[in-house]
Amino acid sequence: MVRIIISLLFVVTGFMSCKCDIDGFSFSRRNYTVNSMRTDGYYYNFSVDSQGDTVYQYKIFYINGVCINQGTRNINELEASFVNGSFLNNLNNKRYSWGIYSVQADSIMQVQYWFPRYGCKDGATVLSSLWKIDNDTTLKLVSGSNTIRDNDKLIFRQFSPKPDSTNSFIR
């Protein structure tokens, strides 16, 4: 019985001292200097979930190579949060959803962003995706992670003001 208690203490202590890792990106942030896609708004798609609710995925790309990847159930509330500043107030202290992107040969874009590491309060894993830039208003998923399944195309929506890309996680 004493051995079991000691063994359990080692296991519990091991889990408590386990450090939640934050994965790094596989490439460095670079300024976006070509004009193959627009950065004066956001890209989005939507699907209907199993309860019949519309779910939107959106990506915001900035010319400094930073991006935001998130989802919402109400696109009008999302845009209102851009205008009134509550979007950044909710996102500013969280690593999740911030990321970087890089455009290669004017038509292929690699995107990486942090996603919560399950079972770990502060840990983050990096999700990656590769997108083909069809034109300046349409992106198509080539491979990788996409929040909304069966919807591999993002459409551009011009919107101003976009939230600021300044954050404490990406230099």
How many alpha carbons lie under 13 Å from residue 143 in its C-beta half-sphere? Answer: 1
State in words which class domain 20-158 has.
mainly beta
The model's pLDDT over 19-45, given as tens digits with 9 standing for 90+, comes to 688 899 999 999 999 899 999 999 999
Burial of residue 67 (CB within 10 Å: 0-12, 13-18, 19+) is buried
The model's pLDDT over 37-85, given as tens digits with 9 standing for 90+, comes to 999 999 999 988 888 889 899 999 999 999 999 989 999 999 999 999 8
The model's pLDDT over 88-135, given as tens digits with 9 standing for 90+, comes to 877 777 888 899 999 998 899 999 999 888 888 778 989 999 999 999
Coil/strand/helix, residue 22 = strand
